[in-house]
Amino acid sequence: MAKSDLDREMKKIDDLINSEMGLGAEQSKAQDARLARINDPGRIERFRAAVLRKESKAHRVAIDFGGGVVAQASTELMNWGFRALGKWSKDGFWANNVDLLQGAPHFVLGMGLYFAEMITRPEPKGGGEWVTPTREVISEASKIFGQLGFSNLMRAIRVRWSDSSKREIAYQAVAQEKAQLEAKLAQLQGGGAAGAGGAAGAGGTAKS
């Protein structure tokens, strides 16, 4: 009975050793296949050609110029629309805020599109694909679009701040001038009343 149990245990150990050896052989084969794929000259050459295409001067010029043109054209088109709304509203909301509206929406929309494209862009590691030229143009255009909007917004705020300062200075000058005129008027009125009183006293003396 003890010998039979010992044989079963020995058989289990042999099976375990054989399974581990088989698993090790499979892992070794998979590792060899992976190294063969990595060191494949054709694969390396295709990867090198793809990198050269992505980093070529023609590709970079096309992406940068295309994104800049799209951003500039979109900015000018939106600004034209906001200016038209300002003329239509005359003294309404659009007319009073047309300067801010030519910057704030562009900044928010541009940065939103840029981060949305970056978040949804596939990662290059783990079998990820190359970024398509369309995505590259969208990323470049949205970035420039947002920067143009931010520049316009800061200029509008700076002009408004300067105008408010000028208005404050003008108001203070007008208030000071008004105070001076009121003081002169009071002085003239006081002088006129004193002259009238003197004339009345001289007339009474002559009669007596």
**Cβ(73)–Cβ(147) under 8 Å?**
no
Q: What is the pLDDT of residue 184?
A: 77
Q: What is the pLDDT of residue 180?
A: 74
Q: What is the pLDDT of residue 176?
A: 73
Please list the pLDDT of the chain residue by residue as tens digits (208 residues): 455 666 677 667 766 666 655 555 566 666 666 666 656 666 667 777 777 777 888 888 999 999 999 999 999 999 999 999 999 988 889 988 999 999 999 999 999 999 999 999 887 665 556 788 899 999 999 999 999 999 999 999 988 888 766 666 766 777 677 777 777 777 787 766 555 555 555 455 544 4
- Please give the backbone phi and psi of residue 127, each rounded to the nearest 5 degrees, phi first: 85, 10
- Distance (Å, rounded) from C-alpha 128 to C-alpha 122? 6
Residue 28, token pair as written in the block: 């070794």
- Distance (Å, rounded) from C-alpha 19 to C-alpha 91? 85
Q: What SS3 class is residue 124?
A: coil
- Which helix (DSSP H) or strand (DSSP E) does residue 15 occupy? helix 2-38
- Please give the backbone phi and psi of residue 163, each rounded to the nearest 5 degrees, phi first: -65, -40
Q: What is the pLDDT of residue 106?
A: 94
pTM (two decimals): 0.59
Q: What is the pLDDT of residue 1?
A: 47
**How is residue 97 annotated by DSSP?**
T
Half-sphere exposure in the Cβ direction for 165 (13 Å, CA): 6
Helices marked H in 56-132 — which ranges?
57-89, 93-96, 98-101, 104-120
Domain layout of the chain by residue ranges: 14-55, 65-186
